[in-house]
Chains A and B, each alone.
Chain A
Amino acid sequence: MARIVGIDLGTTNSLVAYMADGRPRVIPDRHDRTMVPSVVAMTDNGLIVGDPAKEHLTRNPERTVYSVKRFMGKSLEDVQGELAYFPYHLTEQGGVIRIKLGEKTYSPPQISAMILKELKRRAEAHLGESITKAVITVPAYFNDSQRQATKDAGMIAGLDVLRIINEPTAASLAYGLQQKMQGTIAVYDLGGGTFDISILKLKNGIFEVLATNGDTHLGGDDFDRQIANLFVKEISEQHGLDLNAYPDHMQAVRLEAERAKIRLSDELKTTAILDLPESKGRYSRDLTRDQLESLTMELVERTLGPCRLALNDAGLTSSDLDEVVLVGGATRMPLVRQHVEALFGKQPHCELNPDEVVALGAAVQADILGGGTTDLLLLDVTPLSLGIETMGAVMSSLIRRNTTIPASAKEMFTTYVDGQTGVDIHILQGERELVKDNRSLARFRLKVPPLPAGVPRIEVTFLIDANGILNVSARDVRTGATQSLAVKPSYGLSDDEVERMIGESFKFAADDLKARQLIEARTEAEAILMATEKALKQGSHLVGEEDLSSIRASMAAVEAAKSGEDHKTIRAKMADLEKATHHLAEVLMDTSLKAALENKKLSELTSGK
């Protein structure tokens, strides 16, 4: 069977991992970075993803998408409250958010697909084989629409998504395998955009989820926002500047807020510095850990309610827990650790890198599906109750939350009027009494043969599969005939749309490839120019005038090619420069500089090899 990779498609960072020799490993890029920032930028030359795209956050904020995961499976109305925080333009079509980048609009699954494609490429380059199958993780508390949107993203990226698994459960797989953890454990996962808590029982290779809870809209992003709001307010007070009018500066504020937050995990005090627009100079501010904690206390406390609910649903108290595991970058905050420790009365584990552990677990699950690992089995649950609308706009529950999946329920439908030919069914997800307080998943019309009222008997089966995704089928009990259902998702792309997007994704792949190659060539050209400058400074007296002028000419040629649009020309000029510097490199006794010139690769330059 072809290799299956495990992917953590995060709000802030995404990773890809695979299993080798019974051990999961995260795949790094050439610069040894394991995380791909979940950022996509539309440049004049096409779309770029990851670290290079991150640079465009301040340069080109209207056309640089970050935290797109927050919009997966959502309508515009769902995110009204935070629209103001995003510099890119959002619209809606068919219940699905669309992101406007230049002339075109993209659905969140399409943007996510670009991140997935980047991970796919990374895995292909590293493993030297084509990758078409993947396990992708989602927050445990994701609803059906959000899961389906993630699956759509995979398809658009040209991946066969064999399984969607929950992030905290994936983390438990990694801990179970690598740390031989056993017993009843709680996994507390606070990432960039989402919070999950899962309670599991680990016994003889079975990972049984007892209960899960969470908040799909709570994470490090919200912490950053608190700090950023403070900076913006102070800048307005001190300098009379409303930064909201400067999207690029707003992004700089957000990024500086995040950096300050991260520093305050290790230090007690830090200074945030921001350049202001309109020649207003600089804003510089000391921020203490205490101040950060009072700004974010309420957010951290918001995670405790779901923890208690999950324990309650599992029929446990915190003293029943054997271990507590921390996952997600935001759990590095001392305030978070203190709260977790106080709530569960236990020192939490964080032996495995909280950024990587979810991807590692996804790789383990991929190996289980591929048949490599046969002794582990994950039994997960559905996070939210599933039901249908009944008389009086009330939800009637069919599958309760925290039911082990796959799970199914059958419901018999009949008619109230003679000759009635259809029954409308509205599927919902949530814990509330009234339809309007729950999430609408989909609607469909059951076809019924025209008969006297009460005679038709149509059995509808609602099945939540191992991905936590709903499948509906119907059977006429009298005739035994099954009927195919046209289920219309309330907040999702239609099959046709996904089909079209898959097509487009291949069409644009060529453009995107060009954009990426250009960016890579430019970055490397930049690096080789810098290295040459450095070498010249140290060794120009060691070579002849002829060499020097040839080096200068080649440098100018690289410089000129760099501002052009053709990556091949840049590469050709870089090769010329390399030849021109050959002698200089030879005579330079400084080995590190010599190495720098011979190995033009940015990776080796920057890692100082």
Chain B
Amino acid sequence: MYHHTHSTVGPRELPMARSMCWHCQSEVAGEYFCERCVKVQPVSKDLDYFTCLGFPRRLTIDQHQLETKFYELSRAFHPDFYQNKSAAEQTISLGNSAMLNIAYRTLRDPIERAEYLLDLEAGSVKEIRNSPPADLFEEILELQDTLSEYRAAGHASETESTLRAKLQSERNTLEQRQREMEATLQQLFVQWDTLQDRGEATDQARTERDRILKQMRENLSNRTYVKNIVSDLASTIG
């Protein structure tokens, strides 16, 4: 039998709101299983991924702890262990597992984690940027020209190899840019976590919060833009 253990992340809100056990109607005190009849309880659809996995809303997460928690909850929810249970429990197991899997997938990756947090805190970031960030504008325009020249150039021609070299160096520059953006993001993540840890409710804290979120949003969308260009480049010049 599975034993629920609290993660070591520290005191946290219990993952589920107080509610009735779907089976025995006794009060479920926030565990994934009813304490009285031991039946699995559905994870609320409104639960955010951080809470689902028992982590606070922070952008630095210990990967090892996250994985341990994911494995622990997988053992609790996976349909394999509900084969001999009622149809209702099988449905809950399926839903909970799907939720857990998407939660883990999202939180595992630092960028996706940040995008998700931003979404929770300030609405979606997923609108796709289709013009280059201002400071890269000139560079990208030129790159676009070189790319079309390269595509038009005769196979194995001299122009082709000159252009290829040029594109290769562009690629290196852009990859460097992407790394810089990621480093900036990393700093913003730390700033966010520090601010959260302080837990102040002052005007100053609120302004700071909005600034971090705004910068994060900008950096995330610029990074995605650059990353897409880099992978385009990579597939063109191989």
> Using Cβ atoms and an 8 Å threshold, which residues of chain A touch B105?
403-404
CB distance B84 to A371 under 8 Å?
yes
Q: How far is the CB of B176 from chain A (nearest CB, A)?
A: 21
Q: Are A369 and B83 in contact (CB under 8 A)?
A: yes
Q: Within the complex, what minimum Cβ distance (angstroms) separates B44 from chain A? A: 15
Q: Beyond A369-B83, A404-B105, is A377–B98 a contact (Cβ under 8 Å)?
A: no
Q: Is the CB of A465 within 8 A of B79?
A: yes
A203→B64 CA distance, assembly (Å):
12
Closest A residue by C-beta to B96: A406
CB-nearest residue of chain A to B79: A466
Contact A407 B78 (CB under 8 A): no
A377 to B75, CA, bound (A): 7
Which B residue sits closest to A373, measured CB to CB?
B80
Q: For window 362-416 of chain A, which residues contact chain B by CB distance below 8 Å?
A: 368-371, 374, 377-379, 403-408
| Chain B contacts for A279, CB-based, 8 A | none
When C-beta atoms are compared, the residue in chain B nearest to A410 turns out to be B45
A184 to B210, CA, bound (A): 41
Closest residue to A399 on the B side, CB-wise? B102
Closest chain A CB from B139 CB (angstroms): 26
Which of B81, B84, B98 touches A407 (beta carbons < 8 Å)? B98
Is A406 touching B75 in the complex (CB atoms < 8 A)?
Answer: no
Contact between A206 and B98, CB atoms less than 8 A apart: no
Q: What's the interface size class on B, roughly?
A: 10 to 19
CB of A206 within 8 A of CB of B94, answer: no
In this complex, the member of B74, B99, B101 whose beta carbon has the largest number of chain A beta carbons within 10 angstroms is B101
| Contact B97–A406 (Cβ < 8 Å) | yes
List B99-116 residues whose CB lies under 8 Å from chain A.
99, 101-102, 104-105
Judging by beta carbons under 8 Å apart, are B102 and A407 in contact? yes
Which residues on B sit within 8 Å (CB–CB) of A1?
84
CB pair A368–B80 under 8 Å, yes or no, is yes
Q: Is the CB of A498 closer than 8 A to any CB of chain B?
A: no
Interface bits B47-81 vs A (CB < 8 Å: 1, else 0): 00000000000000000000000010011001111
Interface flags for B97-139 (1: CB within 8 Å of A; 0: not) read 1110110110000000000000000000000000000000000
- Distance, CA A371 to CA B97, complexed state (A): 18
For the complex, what is the distance from the CA of A208 to the CA of B102, rounded to whole Å?
14
Q: Contacts A204-B71, A206-B74, A463-B94 given; indicate if A403 touches B84 (C-beta within 8 A).
A: no
Residues facing B in A207-234 (CB within 8 A) are 208
Residues of chain A within 8 A (CB-CB) of B99 are 408
Which has the most chain A C-beta neighbours within 10 Å: B71, B80, B83?
Answer: B80
User: In the complex, what residue of chain A is closest to B77 when comparing beta carbons?
Assistant: A406
Report which of A403, A404, A466 forms a contact with B80, defined as CB distance below 8 A.
A466
- Shortest CB–CB separation between residue B227 and chain A, in angstroms? 15
Q: Are B74 and A379 in contact (CB under 8 A)?
A: yes
A463 to B102, CA, bound (A): 12
Most buried by A among B83, B98, B105: B98
A405 touches B101 (CB 8 A): yes
Least CB separation from A162: chain B residue: B83
User: In the complex, are the beta carbons of B83 and A406 less than 8 A apart?
Assistant: no
- Kindly provide the distance from the CB of B229 to the nearest chain A CB, expressed in whole angstroms: 17
Complex contact B71–A206 (CB within 8 A): yes
Which among A162, A374, A406, A407 has the highest number of chain B CB atoms within 10 Å? A406
Q: Is the CB of B83 within 8 A of A408?
A: no
Chain B residues with Cβ under 8 A from A206's Cβ? 71, 74-75
Which single residue of chain A is at the shortest CB-CB distance from B104? A404
Q: What's the Cα separation between A162 and B97 when bound, in Å?
A: 18
Verify A408–B80 contact, CB threshold 8 A: no
B94 / chain A contacts, CB cutoff of 8 Å: 406, 463, 465-466
Question: Are the C-beta atoms of B83 and A371 separated by less than 8 Å?
Answer: yes
CB distance from A409 to the nearest CB of B (A): 8
- Tell me the complex Cα distance, A378–B97, Å: 13
Given the complex, which residues of A lie within 8 Å of B78, measured CB to CB?
Answer: 377, 379, 466
A408–B94 alpha-carbon span in the complex (Å): 10
Minimum CB–CB distance from B90 to chain A (whole Å) comes to: 10
Whose C-beta in chain A lies nearest to the C-beta of B95? A408
Cα-based distance from A191 to B166 in the complex (angstroms) = 45
Contacts of A203 in B (CB 8 A): 71
Smallest distance from the beta carbon of A315 to chain B beta carbons, Å? 9
Residues of chain B within 8 A (CB-CB) of A404 are: 101, 104-105
Contact partner of B74 among A370, A377, A407, CB < 8 A?
A377
**Residues of A contacting B83 in the complex (Cβ-Cβ under 8 angstroms):** 162, 369-371
Interface residues of A in 527-545 (CB under 8 A from B): none
Report the minimum CB–CB distance from B73 to chain A (whole Å).
11
| Bound: A228/B74 CA distance, A | 49
The CA of A32 and the CA of B71, in the complex, are separated in Å by: 41
Q: Chain B's nearest CB lies how many Å from the CB of A233?
A: 33
Q: Which of B79, B84, B104 contacts A406 (CB 8 A)?
A: B79
For A405, list chain B residues within 8 Å (CB).
101
Q: Which residues of B contact A466 (CB under 8 A)?
A: 78-80, 94, 97
Complex-state Cα separation, A408 to B102, whole angstroms: 8
Find A377's partner among B80, B84, B95, B104 (CB 8 Å cutoff): B80
What is the bound-complex CA distance between A576 and B58, given in angstroms? 85
Query: Is A406 in contact with B80, judged by CB distance below 8 angstroms?
Result: no
A370 to B94, CA, bound (A): 17
List of B residues within 8 angstroms of A377 by Cβ: 74-75, 78, 80-81
Q: A368 contacts which chain B residues (CB < 8 A)?
A: 80
B60 to chain A, nearest CB (A): 19
In whole angstroms, what is the CA distance A407 to B104 when docked? 11
Task: Mark interface residues in A274-317 (1 if CB within 8 Å of B CB, else 0).
Answer: 00000000000000000000000000000000000000000000
Q: How far is the CA of A208 from the CA of B104 in the complex (A)?
A: 13
How far apart sit A416 and B97, CA to CA, in the bound complex (Å)?
35
Residues of B within 8 A of A408 (CB): 95, 98-99, 102
Whole-angstrom CA separation of A369 from B98 in the bound complex = 18
Q: How far is the CB of B41 from chain A (nearest CB, A)?
A: 17
List, in ascending order, chain B residues with CB within 8 A of A407's CB.
98, 101-102
- Residues from chain B with a CB closer than 8 A to the CB of A465 are 79, 94
Q: How far is the CB of B34 from chain A (nearest CB, A)?
A: 21
Of listed A163, A204, A206, A378, residue having the most chain B CB within 10 A: A206
Bound together, the chains give a CA A465 to CA B80 distance in angstroms of 11
Bound: A208/B74 CA distance, A: 11
- Check B101–A369 contact: CB distance below 8 A: no
Q: How far is the CB of A286 from the nearest CB of chain B, in Å?
A: 41
- Residues of B within 8 Å of A163, CB to CB, are 80
Choose one: A204, A371, A378, A403; the contact of B101 (CB below 8 Å).
A403
**Which single residue of chain B is at the shortest CB-CB distance from A4?**
B83
- Please state if B98 and A463 are interface contacts (CB–CB under 8 Å): yes
User: Complex formed: what's the CA distance from A378 to B79 in Å?
Assistant: 11
Chain A nearest CB from B48 CB (Å) reads 15
Question: Measured between C-beta atoms, what is the minimum distance from B24 to chain A in Å?
Answer: 23
A333, B101: Cα distance in complex, Å:
38
List 7 additional A-B contacts (Cβ < 8 Å) besides A377-B80, A403-B105, A404-B104: A206-B71, A369-B83, A370-B83, A379-B78, A406-B79, A407-B102, A465-B79
Spell out A's residues near B (CB within 8 Å). Answer: 1, 162-163, 203-204, 206, 208, 368-371, 374, 377-379, 403-408, 463, 465-466
Closest 6 CB pairs of A and B: A408-B98, A404-B101, A406-B98, A369-B83, A406-B97, A466-B79
Contact surface of B with A, Cβ cutoff 8 Å: 71, 74-75, 78-81, 83-84, 94-95, 97-99, 101-102, 104-105
13 contacts between A and B (CB under 8 A): A162-B83, A206-B75, A368-B80, A371-B84, A377-B78, A378-B80, A379-B74, A403-B102, A403-B105, A406-B79, A406-B94, A406-B97, A408-B98
